[in-house]
Structure 1
């Protein structure tokens, strides 16, 4: 009888150990899924936050001084361009980086390397055709590439 009791205790201990290991594995797997979901949500929030500084220029009217401020603000951003179309220069000039805005092109929204871009000093020179009047009004538009990444802002003077 003593041997049977010991065998039952050992069997119960083994059963409880297996049950505990199974529970830990199940919890670990569900925690992994929750972690993956949280990482995905965090990445999405991070993407949205990184584009919020640009969305203020999405299809809105801004003043010339705001255009000049955006030129100063984004001049260090690589892979990002700003086009300003003024009354004296309706075709516009790209600042810092040139971006393809041809809707008929397969490369819409792509950064064009090797193309010269305008200098900020010409935007502030009243004798230049690229002069941005601080009191003027401009319509702004955001250019996104095929991956939905914001690549440029286009300002057109009214």
Structure 2
């Protein structure tokens, strides 16, 4: 029985992390595209990417909660509780990877190095964040607070 429970936690953590990755990827890619298009410094690009990753991550969580009938203020509170640690973990890892790969941030959108580096950063961030989400969900925190609002 414990094995089945653990498998269930890993499955929930993987789903929560994939959900988080979706919002982070949308924000991250948009931030990188904007930074490249406007010729921003790497720091500005990373800060904007992180802000957009949080915005899209929270938005993807808030939408179904609002559909479930919760007021906006309460939905924002649930999203903050559900996603903050997950998004933060993912953003620390994927931005660290992007900044660590030589030339990745300066490669530009037309260069394969940028896209391969970004994809690798998401894979590594996902692998690191799944155990974080498993730990949170196992304690009734993180994405566990959202499950009651999903139909």
TM-score, with length taken from structure 1: 0.24
Richer in helix (by share): 2
Instruction: Pick the structure with greater CA Rg.
Output: 1
TM-score, with length taken from structure 2: 0.25
